[in-house]
């Protein structure tokens, strides 16, 4: 089985190394990843300047572009054969609820799907990443086991990617796996006003507090809080089908 591994934290990220090690237990791994931090770049595409792949070893490339650029380059140019799966991550930080709308990790899996390749995004849902990122080393076996299972499923719809969040626990302490839906969260105090060295106002987006609302037993956040791996199937069709079905007279009155 051929895997393309990419991420949004950059080619030097520990999570990418962990993912490649786990995938390497099952099949042949090609890494094509951004040369720098691309978190929260979502599904952006580099259109206004060229992107340059630099070979960093056998089946290993860095690209001065976004996660989406990496998947396109890998599939259309760098890999002699299409991968059987696109794997993205392991992201340093959760991608649950509305995170998936900003995430470069999830977007890379979306791009894989857009190329017609089944895709899985992995994120490590630790709160204190500096303290916990070494826990990832204890999850290689768990990720490999999960991959073995997910890649053997024949019932994943073609338009669906899997969004996996790993709880911040050693592999053997993980309670199990739950199939989940996206939770809901909002940030507060995530815009900081500061001064630049010349005393001018600047703003820094980020940080703040996360509040989970509308928490349900079957949500991604609840699964991770309970010590489970969360697997959320996502599809790319953002259409609100229920509104169309319910529109009825309202639409005819327009
Ligand atoms: Mn990231």
Closest CA to 59 of 24, 8, 25: 24
DSSP state of 189: S
**Could you tell me the distance, in angstroms and rounded to a whole number, from the CA of residue 63 to the centre of ligand 1?**
16
**Cβ neighbours for 195, distance < 8 A, ≥ 6 positions apart:** 201, 202
For the chain, give the longest Cα–Cα distance.
63
Decide if 173 is inside a domain.
Answer: yes
Decide if 210 is inside a domain.
Answer: no
**Could you tell me the distance, in angstroms and rounded to a whole number, from the CA of residue 103 to the centre of ligand 1?**
7
Decide if 197 is inside a domain.
Answer: no
**Could you tell me the distance, in angstroms and rounded to a whole number, from the CA of residue 70 to the centre of ligand 1?**
14
Single pTM value for the model: 0.94
Decide if 108 is inside a domain.
Answer: yes
170-185 pLDDT tens trace? 988 999 999 999 999 8
**Could you tell me the distance, in angstroms and rounded to a whole number, from the CA of residue 15 to the centre of ligand 1?**
9
**Could you tell me the distance, in angstroms and rounded to a whole number, from the CA of residue 216 to the centre of ligand 1?**
25
**Could you tell me the distance, in angstroms and rounded to a whole number, from the CA of residue 249 to the centre of ligand 1?**
45
Say which CATH number the domain at 146 has.
Answer: 3.40.1210.10
Alpha carbons 224 and 211: distance in angstroms, whole number = 15
**Could you tell me the distance, in angstroms and rounded to a whole number, from the CA of residue 243 to the centre of ligand 1?**
33
Decide if 203 is inside a domain.
Answer: no
**Could you tell me the distance, in angstroms and rounded to a whole number, from the CA of residue 93 to the centre of ligand 1?**
7
Alpha carbons 124 and 88: distance in angstroms, whole number = 12
Looking up tokens 């719809």 gives 157
Decide if 200 is inside a domain.
Answer: no
Alpha carbons 24 and 20: distance in angstroms, whole number = 6
Decide if 189 is inside a domain.
Answer: no
Q: Which residues form the domain of 227? A: 2-183+215-252
Alpha carbons 10 and 65: distance in angstroms, whole number = 10
Decide if 209 is inside a domain.
Answer: no
Report the helix count and the strand count for the chain, using DSSP H and E: 8, 13
20-73 pLDDT tens trace? 999 999 999 999 999 999 998 999 999 999 999 999 999 999 999 999 999 999
Domain count, the chain: 1
């Amino acid at each position: 089985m051929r895997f393309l591994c990419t991420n949004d934290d950059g080619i030097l990220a520990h999570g990418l190394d962990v993912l490649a090690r786990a995938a390497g237990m099952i099949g042949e791994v090609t890494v094509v990843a951004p040369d720098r931090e691309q978190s929260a770049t979502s599904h952006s595409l580099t259109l206004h300047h060229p992107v340059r792949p630099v070979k960093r070893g056998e089946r290993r490339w860095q690209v001065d572009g976004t996660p989406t650029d990496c998947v396109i380059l890998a599939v259309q140019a760098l890999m002699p054969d299409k991968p059987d799966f696109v794997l993205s991550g392991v992201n340093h930080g959760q991608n649950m609820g509305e995170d998936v709308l900003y995430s470069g990790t999830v977007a890379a899996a979306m791009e894989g799907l857009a190329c017609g390749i089944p895709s899985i995004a992995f994120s490590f849902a630790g709160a204190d990443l500096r303290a916990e990122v070494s826990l990832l080393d204890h999850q290689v076996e768990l990720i490999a086991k999960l991959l073995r299972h997910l890649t053997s499923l024949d019932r994943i719809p073609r338009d669906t990617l899997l969004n996996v969040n790993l709880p911040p626990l050693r592999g053997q302490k993980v309670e199990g796996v739950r199939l989940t839906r996206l939770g809901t969260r909002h940030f507060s105090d995530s815009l900081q006003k500061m001064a630049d060295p010349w005393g001018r106002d600047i703003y820094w987006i980020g940080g703040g507090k996360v509040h989970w609302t509308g928490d349900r037993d079957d949500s991604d956040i609840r699964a991770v809080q309970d010590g489970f791996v969360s697997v959320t199937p996502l599809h790319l069709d953002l259409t609100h089908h229920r509104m169309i079905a319910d529109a009825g007279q309202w639409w005819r009155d327009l």
